[in-house]
Amino acid sequence: MVNQKIVDQIGKIRQEIITIPYHKGTEHHIGRLRARIACLEDQLLQERLRGGRGGGGGYAIPKSGDATVVLVGFPSVGKSTLLNILAKAQSKIGSYPFTTIGVVPGMMSYQGAKIQILDVPGLILGAAKGRGRGKEVLSVVRTADLIILLIDYKGFGQQETILKELEDAAIKVNKEKPAVIVNKKSKGGILIKNSQAMKDFSSRVAVGIAEELGLKNAEIFIKGKNITQEEFIDVLLDNRVYVPSITIIGKSDLLHPDEVEIIKRKLPQALLVSPRTGKGIDNLKKEIFKKLALIRIFLKPKNGKIGFNEPLIMKEGVNVAGVAEKIGRVLTNQKGARVWGKSVKYPGQLVGMNHILEEEDIVSF
Ligand SMILES: Nc1nc2c(ncn2[C@@H]2O[C@H](COP(=O)(O)OP(=O)(O)OP(=O)(O)O)[C@@H](O)[C@H]2O)c(=O)[nH]1
Ligand SMILES: [Mg+2]
């Protein structure tokens, strides 16, 4: 059940904001009101995702592999068929909606990486408000590293509906986390640093918002550029997740060439895939790997052979220390490593622990 009291409160504050003209003298008050709304909306979300009817905290699927991808789409668009071909799994397929009622995991192997793929029940309008299996599905989506948005070949509107549901569940799709760093302190009040990087509000407004959201003492460093009030609130609320996504049009074997043209115009980024015939699947696997920003690092034992058959799968931007940690090297006396590959100027170069590695680099400790 939606908590009507909170909904009414939000309505009242919205009404108040509309009646106040926005200028220097009122921006502080309006900032606080916006923060109050965000806070109340957050409470609603917590109630929807956690508690409510049915109890439980959603599906408990242990993460495994190098990354986790979740298949999201309306009922019957072909999610389970896609999982089965990507991950050689056996999720039940049906010509009727809601064939899948729990989470079905599969493991996709690609370029030495093990990527966990989760097939979940179809999302429907109102999922974030608890309709269908929405609550459970959205809590799984929140923990994924990548969302595959599967839409029907005739349902362009589906993408928008699903994105709205995800937004309502505080899932930011294909958005960077705003670069705002909050360091909580024990005294000193709220201090905003580098406030000139804020786009549409002043330090005073920022302090008001922070206080409204329950912060008492903190140093808030605006690291990014042109940070908006909304982004600032998002970071301070600290329950937003930022997940990349790929949109794909399934059942492409059923498309008429004219329809393919329309899709290419309307959704130029979307990939055309047919899980039934296998068309477009290889390309999709490649895109998944790319979008997850995974790279392969090969290890070379001293005086040994390079382990080309067993790449370490790491996140883009990883440094030598990250690799050492992954393989359980004791860091204390490790000063660096020798590296061959794109990230160095000459083969076998000696680098420090902070050296950033690139795809297919070879590392020797
Ligand atoms: N022609 C064609 N049919 C497909 C394709 N992929 C799936 N289907 C059919 O679409 C129907 C639904 O497929 P599912 O994989 O069960 O769909 P789902 O999205 O998992 O459905 P729910 O679990 O109910 O949400 C089945 O009859 C499939 O055989 C495809 O690429 N081409
Ligand atoms: Mg299914």
Residue having the nearest C-alpha atom to atom 10 of ligand 1: 78
If asked whether residues 275 and 259 sit together in one domain, one would say yes
Give the H/E segment covering residue 296: strand 294-299
108 is written with which tokens?
């996709």
Tens digit of each residue's pLDDT (9 = 90 or more) over 10-49: 999 999 999 988 888 888 899 999 999 999 988 888 887 7
**Does 309 reside within a domain?**
yes
Å from CA of 268 to ligand 1 middle: 23
Give pLDDT, residue 331: 63
Å from CA of 232 to ligand 2 middle: 38
Which atom of ligand 1 lies nearest, measured to the CA of 95? 27
**Mean pLDDT throughout 139-160?**
89
Banded pLDDT at 3 (limits 50, 70, 90): confident
If asked whether residues 151 and 259 sit together in one domain, one would say yes
Domain final residue pick, 219, 239, 259: 239
Whether the pLDDT of residue 9 is over 50: the answer is yes
**Mean pLDDT over the full length of the chain:** 88
Give pLDDT, residue 23: 82
More confident residue, 246 or 156: 246
Å from CA of 335 to ligand 2 middle: 50
Å from CA of 78 to ligand 2 middle: 7
Tens digit of each residue's pLDDT (9 = 90 or more) over 327-337: 887 666 778 89
Q: What residues does ligand 1 touch, defined as CB less than 6 Å away? A: 73, 75-81, 93-95, 97-100, 121-122, 250-251, 253-254, 274-276
If asked whether residues 205 and 338 sit together in one domain, one would say no
Q: Print the domain residue range for 16.
A: 4-49+178-239
Instruction: Note the ligand closest to the C-alpha atom of 150.
Output: 1
Report the CATH number at residue 359.
Answer: 3.10.20.30
If asked whether residues 357 and 264 sit together in one domain, one would say no
Which atom of ligand 1 lies nearest, measured to the CA of 150? 19
Å from CA of 92 to ligand 1 middle: 10
Out of 99, 136, 248, give the residue to mutate to test ligand 1, the one with the largest number of ligand atoms within 8 Å of its CB.
99
**Does 9 reside within a domain?**
yes
More confident residue, 332 or 148: 148
User: What is d(CA 17, CA 30) in angstroms, rounded to the nearest whole number?
Assistant: 6
Instruction: Note the ligand closest to the C-alpha atom of 250.
Output: 1
If asked whether residues 235 and 260 sit together in one domain, one would say no
Matching residue, tokens 């009030």: 229
**Does 98 reside within a domain?**
yes
If asked whether residues 17 and 94 sit together in one domain, one would say no
Å from CA of 154 to ligand 1 middle: 14
Give pLDDT, residue 55: 40
Give pLDDT, residue 150: 95
**Does 161 reside within a domain?**
yes
If asked whether residues 13 and 109 sit together in one domain, one would say no
**Does 163 reside within a domain?**
yes
Report the CATH number at residue 92.
Answer: 3.40.50.300
Tens digit of each residue's pLDDT (9 = 90 or more) over 206-219: 999 999 999 999 99
Question: How large a percentage of the chain has pLDDT more than 70?
Answer: 93
Å from CA of 77 to ligand 1 middle: 5
Instruction: Note the ligand closest to the C-alpha atom of 251.
Output: 1
Total structural domains within the chain: 3
If asked whether residues 156 and 93 sit together in one domain, one would say yes
Tens digit of each residue's pLDDT (9 = 90 or more) over 75-117: 889 999 999 999 987 778 877 777 777 888 899 999 889 999 9
What are the residues facing 108 on neighbouring strands? 115
Q: CB under 8 Å to 2, separation ≥6 — which residues?
A: 44, 48, 129, 130
The three-class DSSP label of residue 256 is coil
Which stretches of the chain are assigned E, i.e. beta strand?
67-73, 104-110, 113-119, 146-151, 171-173, 180-184, 190-193, 218-222, 241-243, 245-249, 271-272, 294-299, 312-315, 336-340, 349-352, 362-364
If asked whether residues 164 and 273 sit together in one domain, one would say yes
Which atom of ligand 1 lies nearest, measured to the CA of 96? 24
106 contacts 88 by C-beta, under 8 angstroms: yes
**Does 54 reside within a domain?**
no
Give pLDDT, residue 51: 54
Tens digit of each residue's pLDDT (9 = 90 or more) over 291-336: 999 999 999 998 889 988 889 999 999 999 999 988 887 666 778 8
